[in-house]
């Protein structure tokens, strides 16, 4: 439960970690997709390093903001769930762009 507000001395740290969470989440998804599209393993490793840094920022953010109980569990579930999202989105995109899913006689479709 969120009981006490952020101390004024921790405000900058709270702001910095929140901004870092957004930046690292974006970088993680971009590097993951770029690594999958190009087949470069180094980009996949860089994506996982960004995700680890994201977890550290979530831990610091939760500590500084005095998260406990429900709020701590929610922030942990969100961080862990986000680790799987680029994988699920990649699989969805790969599955929907397979040649088997193309139906040439769909209404409104172009015939070649």
Q: Would you state the pLDDT for residue 111?
A: 52
* Gyration radius (Cα) of the chain, Å: 20
- Distance, in Å, from the CA atom of 100 to the CA atom of 96, rounded to the nearest integer, reads 9
The CA angle 91-35-29, to the nearest 5 degrees, is 65
Among 70-74, 82-86, 107-111, the range scoring the smallest mean pLDDT is: 107-111
Tell me what pLDDT residue 10 has.
85
Confidence at residue 2, expressed as pLDDT on a 0 to 100 scale: 54
pLDDT of 23-58, one tens digit each? Answer: 999 999 999 999 999 999 999 999 999 999 999 999
Q: In whole angstroms, give the CA distance from residue 65 to residue 46.
A: 28
pTM: 0.76
Which residues 6+ apart lie within 8 Å of 66 measured at CB? 2, 3, 4, 6
Question: ∠51-94-100 over CA atoms, to 5°?
Answer: 170
Distance separating alpha carbons of residues 57 and 34, to the nearest angstrom: 23
Indicate the pLDDT class of residue 82, thresholds 50, 70 and 90.
Answer: very high
């Amino acid at each position: 439960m969120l009981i006490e507000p952020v101390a004024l001395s921790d405000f900058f740290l709270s702001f910095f970690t929140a901004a870092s969470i957004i930046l690292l989440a974006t970088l993680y998804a971009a590097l993951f997709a770029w690594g999958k599209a190009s087949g470069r393993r180094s980009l996949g490793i860089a994506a996982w390093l960004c995700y680890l840094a994201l977890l550290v920022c979530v831990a610091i953010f939760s500590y500084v903001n005095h998260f406990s109980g429900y709020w701590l569990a929610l922030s942990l579930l969100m961080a862990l769930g986000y680790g799987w999202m680029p994988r699920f989105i990649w699989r969805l995109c790969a599955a929907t762009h397979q040649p088997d899913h193309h139906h040439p006689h769909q209404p409104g479709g172009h015939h070649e």
